[in-house]
Structure 1
Amino acid sequence: MNPLRDRVLVTLAAVLWVGGTLVGTGLVGGGGVASQGDGLFSDSATLIAPQGPAFSIWSVIYLGLAGYVLWQWLPGTTDSTWARVTRRPAAAAIALNGLWLLVVFAGWVGLSVLVMGGIVLSLGLLLRRTAGLPRAGWAADVWVSATFGLYLGWICVATCANIASWLVGLGVPATTTGSAVATVAVLAVVVVIAALLLRRTDQTAFRLGLVAAVVWGTGWVAAGRLSGDPRSDLVGYAAAATAVAVALLGLASLRAPRSTVAT
């Protein structure tokens, strides 16, 4: 791998990310994500949409991504295994975030699901590449493990919400009993996915970031369904149970030997 080329690749990805953020959040062009796609991305569009305050997690993720872009340029990362093996998947995840915002701004809800899938694959590859690496100090813990752990955890929830928005846009009813039962099933899948991901990394900071984001997201799904619109006690309690289950999985993972990673 060419460190300079990969550093430039990460930086170009960051340019797309920043541009997409400016447009997609309404800072340029008007109208944020919640108003795009005929409101399909608002916190009241589907039963699995997290309540509004949940999205403040992006400020933390964005700070971490900016830190990663700068960190990977530092002279000390030239020969860093952590930087070398993560630059390309990180670049993909960063660029696709900006692309997702642009796609949503254009109203292409179906395409946004595919872009979200690309983010999942990129973050999954990054998790796999860092599993088993020896710790390399607080900088790698913060800018790689914690940052991309948070990103992946949030995307686990956001992907479900994105697919639900797409289905509602296709005409699937959002608030029927069947939709509520299906949402509960999806929340159960989130628990399974979190468990599988936790088994595939031995990095403590990655595990903590992943669990924190999933618990945060599903906790706000619970808040939205129990106190907001649309209301669904079934989904609300299921989301709360999901948050608790993932938190317990996270605690259990911290007790596991660091060298234990599923292949």
Structure 2
Amino acid sequence: MTPSSPAHANRSDVVRQVAVVAATCLMIAAAMVGAGLFGGTPVQDLQGGALDVDGSYLAPARPAFSIWSAIYIGLVAYAAWQALPQQRADVRQRAMGWWVAASEVLNGLWLLAAQFADLPTTVAVIFALAGVLALAFHRAVRTAREGLLPALLIDGVTGLHLGWVTIAAVANTAAWLTRTAPEEWADAAAVAGVVALAVIAIIAVGIGWRGRGRLAPALALAWGLSWLAVARLSGEPASTAIGVTAAAVAVIALGATLAFRFSRRAAS
């Protein structure tokens, strides 16, 4: 009898499985409102357009947001998979389930905050989401993985979510500051953007190191940063310095993660 056998399950395992499914449903419902269904306003039109591609110097181009489709599909697949009886008492599910559920609730709350609250509230929620995802990814790394499906649905989906939300948190903060900062700060916007991207580079290297070379966070970071570079080099507000720096940080995020990955393989 293995540790993941249903015979070892208890009531709290069932509660966790139900909570993950319920959180996933909440997230999808909020995403539909955020897409403009059920009378909601599309995210890019909320907050006076502050969250759109031209809302700040650190907003990625619109195609970047298609990554949400991959994240949502992955989270729905995870919810269905973790609900199977054979996953009920699995060690990784016990370590991850509640954190994934919390991330989905916060994901949905951000969309509702964007619809019905203000920019400072969205910033607070998205940083809470980033913190929960960082803890979830840490737990994913600490627990052993076996097989392709767990690697995709636990490490992969959580990593994509974390990488993208890291970019989204910075863009959300920039949108808020753009709307509230004094006009005289505008001249320093490009410098502040480059500094923010340097911080993202440090975070990306840290995730690659602590993630033991797992690729999903770096792929999401590189995706978002690449579209940020496109937005600043070919759209408004334009900034060559931010565009070039974003492209460089995308390379750093992927390169550092691959270096950690190959060094671990060489050492094993």
Q: TM-score scaled to structure 1, two decimals?
A: 0.93
Q: Tell whether 2:249 aligns with 1:239.
A: no
Counterparts of 1:224-235 in structure 2, within 5 Å, are: 224-235=231-242
- Which whole-Å CA distance do the structure 1 matches of 2:30 and 2:187 have between them? 37
Q: Tell whether 2:47 aligns with 1:40.
A: no
Counterparts of 1:23-172 in structure 2, within 5 Å, are: 23-172=33-182
Q: Which of 209, 221, 227 lines up with 2:228 in the alignment?
A: 221
Residues 174 and 185 (structure 1), Cα distance of their counterparts in 2 relative to 1, 3 Å cut: farther
How much does 1:86 deviate? Answer: 0.4
Residues 126 and 36 (structure 1), Cα distance of their counterparts in 2 relative to 1, 3 Å cut: same
**Cα pair 1:16 1:99 within 8 Å, conserved:** no
Residues 28 and 156 (structure 1), Cα distance of their counterparts in 2 relative to 1, 3 Å cut: same
Q: Any idea what the Cα deviations from partners look like across 1:216-253, whole Å, max 9, x if unmatched?
A: 00000000000111111111111111111111112112
How much does 1:171 deviate? Answer: 3.4
- Which whole-Å CA distance do the structure 2 matches of 1:174 and 1:214 have between them? 31
Q: State the partner residue of 2:13.
A: 3
Runs of 4+ residues over 3 Å off in structure 1: 171-177
How much does 1:172 deviate? Answer: 4.4
Residues 40 and 175 (structure 1), Cα distance of their counterparts in 2 relative to 1, 3 Å cut: farther
Residues 123 and 174 (structure 1), Cα distance of their counterparts in 2 relative to 1, 3 Å cut: farther
Which AA in structure 1 matches 2:217?
L
Identity of aligned residues (%): 35
**Cα pair 1:82 1:136 within 8 Å, conserved:** no
Larger Rg: 2
- Which whole-Å CA distance do the structure 1 matches of 2:40 and 2:123 have between them? 23
- Which whole-Å CA distance do the structure 2 matches of 1:33 and 1:108 have between them? 13
How much does 1:173 deviate? Answer: 4.7
- Which whole-Å CA distance do the structure 2 matches of 1:73 and 1:51 have between them? 36
Q: State the partner residue of 2:259.
A: 252
Task: Name the Cα RMSD after superposition.
Answer: 1.8
- Which whole-Å CA distance do the structure 2 matches of 1:259 and 1:172 have between them? 52
Q: TM-score scaled to structure 2, two decimals?
A: 0.91
Local SS of the residue matching 1:28 = helix
- Which whole-Å CA distance do the structure 2 matches of 1:106 and 1:212 have between them? 32
**Cα pair 1:147 1:209 within 8 Å, conserved:** yes
Residues 7 and 250 (structure 1), Cα distance of their counterparts in 2 relative to 1, 3 Å cut: same
- Which whole-Å CA distance do the structure 2 matches of 1:174 and 1:41 have between them? 22
**Cα pair 1:218 1:243 within 8 Å, conserved:** yes
Total equivalences in the alignment: 257
Higher helix share: 2
Q: Any idea what the Cα deviations from partners look like across 1:10-49, whole Å, max 9, x if unmatched?
A: 1221122122111112122142100000000000110000
Q: Which of 196, 206, 209 lines up with 1:186 in the alignment?
A: 196
How much does 1:65 deviate? Answer: 0.6
Gaps of 5+ in 1: none
**Cα pair 2:209 2:257 within 8 Å, conserved:** no
